[in-house]
Amino acid sequence: MKQFHNFINGEFVATGKTFENRNPATNAVVGLVHEAGQAEVDAAVDAAHAALKGDWGRMSVVKRTELLHAVADEINRRFDDFLEAELADTGKPRSLASHIDIPRGAANFKVFADIVKNVPTESFQMTTPDGGTAVSYAIRSPLGVVGVICPWNLPLLLMTWKVGPALACGNTVIVKPSEETPATATLLGEVMNAVGVPKGVYQVLHGFGPGSAGEFITKHPRVNGITFTGETRTGEAIMAAAAKGVRPVSFELGGKNAGIVFDDADFDKAVAGITRSAFENCGQVCLGTERVYVQRPIFDRFVAALKASAEGLKVGPSDEPGVNLGPLISAEHRQKVLGYYAKAKDEGATVVTGGGVPAMQGEFANGHFVQPTIWTGLPESASVVREEIFGPCCHIAPFDTEEEAIALANATDYGLATTVWTQNLGTAHRMAAAIEVGLCWINSWFLRDLRTAFGGAKASGIGREGGVHSLEFYTELRNVMVKL
Ligand code: NAD
């Protein structure tokens, strides 16, 4: 059986304690994951600090960024290995992982290497009170050892989104992949060794949150900063851990995102866009749309079209031809999502489509598949309209005016993303300014330019990553004032 080891100081390390890794499409045990304890965390932190003081810390920016290009090239050379590892962990459609997860995983190293190489720091000249001159300039130094705590929904992509800029800035990282998806982070250790990244620069520790590697990393006083993607509730626990020693955090958290469709939208494009935003990756995308608001004149037509579109989606295993939706990540998560499907009915929803489990054949009958689901008719106070479900489902409600749509979109503690569909330029820009989110898509969704700021407002996050914004977190800016 496949073994997923920790990667500490350039070596793959077994521990006495393992837990099972299951394939979500079949629920079969496919591997054993070696859980890191406090001793492994301590060893990784020591190795990470040694690397900062050693070859890695002394390496020129040019050499460092060349190495990161080599990492990206090696991921691409081993594209199929990464793809198979990601598919075994997540069960997502092969077409999705091969177009998004793996290529973006590689791109994250190149993009941030190039940004770090090209971004200048500020410099000012001033006249001093005695009539002389002073010049100040800024230099950036790495934050140090960065703890990278990752979720399971886009494992390689979201992990490298943080590891890429952290390493480009000269830090060392200790990655804790989700317990559900240990594979690609482990494989990346092989890549680091193959291209000659010094030991201790990239390390992987497996395990869970409380009482396990997640807690031990985030509480470690010599971990200098923590970057985290995951649930808001987990973010609260990590923030409390980081308070000790006043260590900085960067958080990308949960959402309950609104999609807003005006009656002047390009109808077919809006239906296709909301189909993606509600159901892609089986609804397991933080940016996904679980609340859809449609202007009343086109409401009935839109609901009918989205129903037809959802019913046209094929649910199944990664390699079934034409498959659009894989399984949910785990039995536990399916139980949570089906719990919301039941709650929606209890709270009086009209089930437009779905609401249950699709019939699967053979070994896939044990997989964690659910039907894409659409509800209407619920009040804004209903659980499925307020709470993040993280499944392939949405509630659709009508609205009349722009002001009403803004109020509905903002009536949540979250503030991650929105997608607005309209052909009126004025409406689009007013909505973008009024909806309290970190990311606003107009006539699009999940369209990314890696140079732009990414992150959430309100309970959806702290800070922004992406482009030069990542440098703000992964470096300390020092101002040097020189009296001439
Ligand atoms: P999660 O919070 O359950 O787990 C994320 C990671 O945190 C895992 O590695 C887990 O082991 C670890 N962890 C859990 N408790 C911990 C603790 N007390 N201390 C340290 N580490 C701990 O999230 P998940 O279920 O893996 O992912 C889904 C969630 O992530 C959703 O809420 C989703 O919206 C969010 N998400 C947000 C973004 C974004 O960019 N804003 C992107 C993807 C996912």
Statement to judge: residues 319 and 237 lie in one domain: no
Q: What is the mean pLDDT of residues 147-164?
A: 98
Let me know if residue 183 belongs to a domain: yes
The Å distance, Cα 79 to ligand 1 centre, comes to 26
Let me know if residue 76 belongs to a domain: yes
Task: Please state whether beta strands 257-261 and 249-252 pair in parallel, antiparallel, or not at all (unpaired).
Answer: unpaired
pLDDT given at position 351: 98
pLDDT given at position 317: 97
The number of CA neighbours under 13 Å toward the Cβ of 437 is 29
pLDDT given at position 3: 97
Average pLDDT over the chain reads 98
Protein residues with CB under 6 Å of any ligand 1 atom: 149-153, 158, 176, 178-179, 208-210, 214-215, 218, 229-231, 234, 237-238, 252-255, 286, 388, 390, 416, 456, 460-461
pLDDT given at position 22: 97
Statement to judge: residues 83 and 129 lie in one domain: yes
* Residue with CA at minimum distance from ligand 1 atom 35: 230
Q: What is the mean pLDDT of residues 464-469?
A: 97
Torsion from C-alpha of 277, 280, 284, 287, nearest 10 degrees: -30
pLDDT given at position 193: 98
Ligand 1, pocket-test mutation among 149, 162, 234, 368, most atoms within 8 A of CB: 234
What SS3 class is residue 31?
strand
The number of CA neighbours under 13 Å toward the Cβ of 119 is 21
Task: Please state whether beta strands 249-252 and 461-462 pair in parallel, antiparallel, or not at all (unpaired).
Answer: antiparallel
CATH of the domain at 45: 3.40.605.10
Statement to judge: residues 424 and 372 lie in one domain: yes
pLDDT given at position 222: 98
What SS3 class is residue 193?
helix
pLDDT given at position 391: 98
What SS3 class is residue 169?
coil
pLDDT given at position 389: 98
What SS3 class is residue 32?
strand
pLDDT given at position 24: 98
Let me know if residue 249 belongs to a domain: yes
pLDDT given at position 25: 98
In the 3-class helix/strand/coil scheme, how is 434-468 assigned residue by residue?
A: HCCCCEEEECCCCCCCCCCCECCEECCEECCECHH
C-alpha dihedral sign at 419, 422, 428, 434: negative
Contact predicate 437/418, CB 8 Å = yes
What SS3 class is residue 346?
helix
Statement to judge: residues 279 and 392 lie in one domain: yes
Q: What is the mean pLDDT of residues 171-181?
A: 98
* Residue with CA at minimum distance from ligand 1 atom 8: 178
Statement to judge: residues 477 and 356 lie in one domain: no
Query: For a pLDDT cut of 90, what percent of the chain falls above it?
Result: 100
Q: Which residues are catalytic?
A: 252
| Chain segment 434-449, per-residue pLDDT in tens | 999 999 999 999 999 9
What SS3 class is residue 341?
helix
Let me know if residue 397 belongs to a domain: yes
Statement to judge: residues 112 and 184 lie in one domain: yes
pLDDT given at position 11: 98
Ligand 1, pocket-test mutation among 38, 149, 289, most atoms within 8 A of CB: 149
DSSP letters spanning 51-118? HHHSHHHH--HHHHHHHHHHHHHHHHHTHHHHHHHHHHHH---HHHIIIIIHHHHHHHHHHHHHHHHH
Give the global pTM.
0.97
Ligand 1, pocket-test mutation among 229, 247, 412, most atoms within 8 A of CB: 229
Residue 329 binned pLDDT confidence (cut-offs 50, 70, 90) = very high
Residue 95 binned pLDDT confidence (cut-offs 50, 70, 90) = very high
Q: What is the mean pLDDT of residues 381-393?
A: 98
The Å distance, Cα 44 to ligand 1 centre, comes to 22
Q: What is the mean pLDDT of residues 323-344?
A: 98
Q: Which domain holds residue 79?
A: 2-253+460-483
**Residue 180 to residue 6: CA distance in whole angstroms:** 15
Let me know if residue 454 belongs to a domain: no
pLDDT given at position 178: 98
Q: Which atom of ligand 1 is nearest to the CA of 217?
A: 20
Phi, psi for 333 (deg, rounded to 5): -70, -35
C-alpha dihedral sign at 473, 431, 421, 288: positive
Q: What is the mean pLDDT of residues 347-372?
A: 98
The Å distance, Cα 389 to ligand 1 centre, comes to 14
| Chain segment 241-273, per-residue pLDDT in tens | 999 999 999 999 999 999 999 999 999 999 999
Number of structural domains (the chain) is 2
* Residue with CA at minimum distance from ligand 1 atom 20: 214
* Residue with CA at minimum distance from ligand 1 atom 13: 209
Q: How many residues does the chain have?
A: 484
